[in-house]
């Protein structure tokens, strides 16, 4: 079956006019590929409006009812997109999670998709129809509606591509691809033709809000090519795939910054064993997500712990840290709400030593102090002063040969 899966996000279906515009693109795909399965998100800010009502009524909404409620946004856009395709003279049918056979775990709001029964989808495709499937939702084993977490429509699209044997899954969005860095911050940012799954995962986790990380993992597992492209322009976008030409030529594929970071340090934890487990356990219990953690033995065997968090969590983190420090008699707590994280990502760095050193040199030569360093096989992150972050981004983009 010559089949393509396309996913359109909330902005792409945000109005009657936008829906009519994407219907034209879908019809073009239908003519080119024979079979098209479209996954849609809710229109624009619909879901946010539903969530607000739910929270006004029940501070912490019942998860089952919450899922039944927010999933309606996708039902609306799926029906409207189907109508728009029919209005262009082509056959189309909307399918909700239940009708599309998308089964999930028996939990709510963040269920994982466990099985796709493609019987009805295959029947409707063979009948020549374009399928418009609601993203983000499925059903559990008692036919209750479940959702797979916000941003999950990307994952829905990849799962359907895998279940139906599509080679490629097009993710239409309001940017025209994946860039070497944020083009709003660095003028010389270049659009990537290709990027590997692993690099994309690092970039996605680092805040490049192009693709949901789960969808990238799922695409990697099933070897589905993701094609990230603009819903407003017809240009090719960026293909996320296993083997990339890019790897051979460049060590670093992208540079990112996250400016909403805060740093917490406890300088003297020398006399108190188990500080780390106690501290990070308490932070987790209070839903504070810790990013980087560095524990080091300084001069005179005085241990220190430093970690970073999202700035939004600083106030909660302060309370928890001060409480734990008081209990365990730790000294020298400092909070720094003035930091940012700058990272370089690239599978090429696996085989090339000296990449991290080049990053540190580039920053050091330009008078940018590094507070913390964290590395993975394909990523190096440095925490620096926030007011140097944009400069660091440009310097690294140039240093690693990414300028357009």
- Contact between 132 and 93 under an 8 Å Cβ cutoff? The reply is yes
What residues from 342 to 381 belong to the interface with a second copy (CB under 8 A)? none
Least distance to a second copy, CB of residue 70, Å? 9
Smaller CB separation from a second copy, 54 or 310: 54
137-139 β-sheet, strand order:
113-116, 102-104, 137-139, 145-147
Least distance to a second copy, CB of residue 132, Å? 9
Least distance to a second copy, CB of residue 100, Å? 11
Least distance to a second copy, CB of residue 20, Å? 7
What residues from 79 to 98 belong to the interface with a second copy (CB under 8 A)? 79-80, 82-84, 86-87, 93-94, 96, 98
Kindly tell me which residue out of 89, 119, 127, 143 binds a second copy, with binding defined by CB under 8 A. 143
Least distance to a second copy, CB of residue 131, Å? 13
Pick the closest to residue 177 from 250, 125, 235 (CA basis): 235
In the block, which residue shows the tokens 């501290």?
Answer: 279
Q: Taking CB under 8 A as the rule, does residue 104 contact a second copy?
A: no
| 236-to-56, 75, 212, 227, 357 alpha-carbon distances in Å | 43, 29, 20, 8, 35
What residues from 273 to 292 belong to the interface with a second copy (CB under 8 A)? none
Q: 72-87 and 16-33 helices cross at what angle (nearest 10)?
A: 60
92-95 β-sheet, strand order:
92-95, 130-134, 35-40, 3-8, 168-173, 225-230, 238-241, 194-196
Pick the closest to residue 226 from 254, 194, 198 (CA basis): 194
Least distance to a second copy, CB of residue 12, Å? 15
Q: How many residues bind a second copy (CB under 8 A)?
A: 35
R_g over Cα of the chain: 24
Smaller CB separation from a second copy, 30 or 241: 30
Q: Taking CB under 8 A as the rule, does residue 114 contact a second copy?
A: no
Q: What is the per-residue binding string for a second copy in 42-81, x denoting contact by CB under 8 A?
A: --------x--xx-xxxx-xx-xxx-xx--x--xx-xxx-
Smaller CB separation from a second copy, 86 or 272: 86
- Segment holding 322, helix H or strand E: helix 314-328
What residues from 144 to 173 belong to the interface with a second copy (CB under 8 A)? 144
Least distance to a second copy, CB of residue 347, Å? 44
In the block, which residue shows the tokens 């340090």?
Answer: 265
Neighbours of 369 (CB within 10 A): 11
User: What residues make contact with a second copy under the rule CB under 8 A?
Assistant: 16, 19-20, 50, 53-54, 56-59, 61-62, 64-66, 68-69, 72, 75-76, 78-80, 82-84, 86-87, 93-94, 96, 98-99, 143-144
């Amino acid at each position: 079956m010559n089949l393509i899966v396309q996913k359109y996000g909330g902005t792409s279906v945000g109005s009657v006019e936008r829906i009519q515009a994407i219907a034209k693109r879908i019809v073009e795909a239908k003519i080119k590929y024979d079979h098209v399965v479209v996954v849609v998100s809710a229109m624009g800010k619909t879901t946010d409006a539903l969530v607000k009502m739910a929270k006004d009524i029940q501070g912490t909404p019942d998860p089952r009812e919450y899922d039944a409620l927010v999933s309606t946004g996708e039902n609306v856009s799926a029906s409207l997109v189907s109508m728009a395709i029919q209005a262009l003279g082509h056959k189309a049918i909307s399918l909700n999670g239940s009708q599309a056979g998308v089964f999930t775990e028996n939990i709510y709001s963040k269920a994982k998709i466990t099985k796709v029964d493609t019987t009805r989808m295959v029947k409707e495709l063979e009948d020549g129809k374009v399928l418009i499937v609601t993203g983000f939702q499925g059903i559990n084993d008692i036919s209750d509606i479940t959702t797979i977490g916000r941003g999950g429509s990307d994952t829905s699209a990849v799962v359907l591509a895998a279940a139906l044997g599509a080679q490629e899954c097009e993710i239409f969005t309001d940017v025209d691809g994946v860039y070497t860095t944020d083009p709003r911050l660095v003028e010389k940012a270049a659009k990537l033709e290709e990027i590997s799954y692993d690099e994309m995962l690092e970039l996605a986790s680092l805040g490049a809000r192009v693709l949901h990380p789960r969808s990238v993992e799922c695409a990697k597992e099933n070897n589905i090519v993701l094609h990230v492209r603009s819903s407003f322009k017809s240009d090719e976008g960026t293909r996320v795939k296993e083997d990339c030409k890019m790897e051979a030529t460049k060590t670093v594929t992208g540079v990112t910054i996250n400016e909403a970071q805060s740093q917490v340090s406890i300088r003297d934890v020398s006399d108190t064993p188990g500080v780390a487990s106690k501290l990070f356990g308490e932070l987790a219990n209070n839903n504070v997500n810790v990013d980087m953690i560095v524990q080091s033995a300084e001069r005179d065997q005085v241990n220190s712990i430093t970690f970073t968090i999202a700035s939004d969590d600083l106030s909660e983190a302060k309370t928890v840290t001060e409480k734990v420090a008081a209990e365990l008699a730790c000294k020298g707590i400092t909070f720094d709400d003035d930091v940012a994280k700058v990272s370089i990502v690239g599978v090429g760095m696996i085989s090339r030593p000296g990449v991290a050193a080049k990053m540190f040199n580039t920053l050091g030569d330009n008078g940018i102090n590094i507070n913390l360093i964290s590395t993975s096989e394909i990523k190096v992150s440095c925490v620096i002063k926030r007011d140097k972050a944009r400069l660091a981004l440009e310097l690294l983009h140039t240093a690693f040969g990414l300028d357009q």
